[in-house]
Amino acid sequence: MSSSTVHSGPWFGDFGGSFAPETLMASLLELEEAWKGIGQTPEFKEELSDLLCNYAGRATPLTHARRMSEELGCELWLKREDLLHTGAHKLNNALGQALLAKKMGKTRILAETGAGQHGVATATVCALLGLECVIYMGEVDAARQKPNALRMELLGARLEVVKHGQKTLKDAINEAMRAWVSDPEAHYLLGSALGPHPFPALVAGFQQVIGEEALEQIQRQAGGLPDTVVACVGGGSNAIGIFRAFVQEDAVELIGVEAGGEGIETGNHAARFSGGEPGILHGCRTWLLQDEGGQILPTHSVSAGLDYPAVGPEHAELQALNRARYAWCTDREALEAFDTLSRLEGIIPALESSHALGWVRSHRDSLSGKRVLVNLSGRGDKDLASVFAQRDGGET
């Protein structure tokens, strides 16, 4: 069994670290102390576990996707994070961090969001715990994920629409970090396993419940370990959340799927490992998309949650160690998988999760007869407008 090789940062091999302005260092240190102190007490763990179970709906089920298995010629299992309250894995981390912030005496939460699932999860926990909430979201994302923008407002959050740069996730993170610098009394509730220490390890720690459950469930329900575990990788939190439980099981292949957009050769994608190089963005050293002058390159994905130029540093280490492999799936393959799962299983997946499924569909030959575990990170209700706009030949 696993779980002893759990990283606590600040370094993941050559990656990670804390490249933050002096003014943020005090806040980051305060957070690290709270995480290592209050965050490790049995009282904190019990309170969080009670919320995860009785508020959020954990454990999420593991579903054997029988009809899709038959079509693909492999044994496909889905870890159902789409069934978690608010519709994606983001709530695991939002609950953990908000509870920690509350115990630190914070009254205000700042957060960024891309697809809006993290914004919704954060607005939700702030309503639950009585915290003030400000969410930064790029203008492009606020338009393509309108239902989520509306949900955040309904939940009592203030939505700050970011109108510069590419107006997507990177710009929202820039803005949220800037806001934190001038408001150190607030807690910045970062939504993925990226950014400066302690965020990558902190977020992974709150997401590893996914893999812990899935490991136990697949052994019980399928009678053994999976051959392959597949997850989509935006910042990398749902992937690291499921990978950590299987890292020590050498026989289990780990596949992270990035956004291939219109294809790597077009330059319109967000596949950091296939099209990028190591560098520094948002406080950590990791793989990212930049030009020769070190300027961050624009990204493209049909899925807002994967549309980000850097990746969490723990994935950079897993790749360097050859323990996980990072592949990509194009917009088109993801959209096809979105349709297939909807029609064959009655489950409408998030466009992000559809990238993991799209990779499996495209690699069915090499997966033939294998037991494949896919982390279904979220549900697709939020994506209907994007999907139908694509069908009509429009932009997303």
Ligand X SMILES: *Cc1c(COP(=O)(O)O)cnc(C)c1O
Which residue among 112, 175, 213, 314 is the active-site one?
A: 112
90 is catalytic: yes
3-state secondary structure of 202: helix
Judged by CB under 6 A, does residue 378 bind ligand X? yes
Sign of the CA dihedral running 269, 273, 276, 281: positive
Judged by CB under 6 A, does residue 90 bind ligand X? yes
CB of 350 to ligand X, least distance (A): 4
336 is catalytic: no
Judged by CB under 6 A, does residue 117 bind ligand X? yes
Judged by CB under 6 A, does residue 190 bind ligand X? no
CB of 232 to ligand X, least distance (A): 5
Judged by CB under 6 A, does residue 237 bind ligand X? yes
3-state secondary structure of 280: strand
Kind of pairing between the strands at 108-113 and 62-64: unpaired
CB of 340 to ligand X, least distance (A): 17
- The DSSP call for residue 83 is G
Considering only residues 236, 261, 276, 309, which one is a binding residue for ligand X as defined by CB under 6 A? 236
Task: Residue 390: name the closest of 350, 332, 347, 329 by CA.
Answer: 332
Judged by CB under 6 A, does residue 244 bind ligand X? no
Q: How far apart are CA 359 and CA 232, in angstroms?
A: 9
Task: Residue 117: name the closest of 232, 2, 250 by CA.
Answer: 232
3-state secondary structure of 335: helix
Judged by CB under 6 A, does residue 309 bind ligand X? no
User: Of 151-180, which residues contact ligand X (CB under 6 A)?
Assistant: none
Which residue among 27, 32, 90, 192 is the active-site one?
A: 90
Judged by CB under 6 A, does residue 115 bind ligand X? yes
Considering only residues 327, 352, 359, 373, which one is a binding residue for ligand X as defined by CB under 6 A? 352
Which of 234/309 has CB closer to ligand X? 234
Considering only residues 177, 350, 367, 372, which one is a binding residue for ligand X as defined by CB under 6 A? 350
Which of 310/350 has CB closer to ligand X? 350
Beta strands per DSSP E along the chain: 11-12, 15-16, 62-64, 75-80, 108-113, 132-138, 158-162, 187-188, 228-232, 253-261, 277-281, 284-288, 324-330, 371-376
Considering only residues 235, 276, 283, 358, which one is a binding residue for ligand X as defined by CB under 6 A? 235
Q: In the complex, which residue's CB is closest to ligand X?
A: 378
Task: Residue 342: name the closest of 392, 303, 383, 307 by CA.
Answer: 383
User: Of 287-306, which residues contact ligand X (CB under 6 A)?
Assistant: 305-306
8 is catalytic: no
Task: Take residue 308 and report the two structure tokens written for it.
Answer: 């980000």
Judged by CB under 6 A, does residue 234 bind ligand X? yes
Is the Cβ–Cβ distance between 248 and 4 less than 8 Å?
A: yes
Which of 22/193 has CB closer to ligand X? 193
Which of 83/110 has CB closer to ligand X? 83
Q: How far apart are CA 209 and CA 60, in angstroms?
A: 10
User: Of 28-87, which residues contact ligand X (CB under 6 A)?
Assistant: none
C-alpha separations of 360 from 78, 160, 256, 260 in Å: 12, 37, 11, 14
For 107-128, the DSSP string reads -EEEEEESSSHHHHHHHHHHHH
Is the Cβ–Cβ distance between 4 and 60 less than 8 Å?
A: no
Which of 87/224 has CB closer to ligand X? 87
Judged by CB under 6 A, does residue 88 bind ligand X? yes
Q: Which residues pair with 113 in a beta bridge?
A: 137
Total binding residues toward ligand X, as defined by CB under 6 A: 21
Which residue among 192, 303, 377, 386 is the active-site one?
A: 377
Which of 211/305 has CB closer to ligand X? 305
Chain positions contacting ligand X, by CB under 6 A: 88, 90, 115, 117-118, 192, 232-239, 305-306, 350, 352-353, 377-378
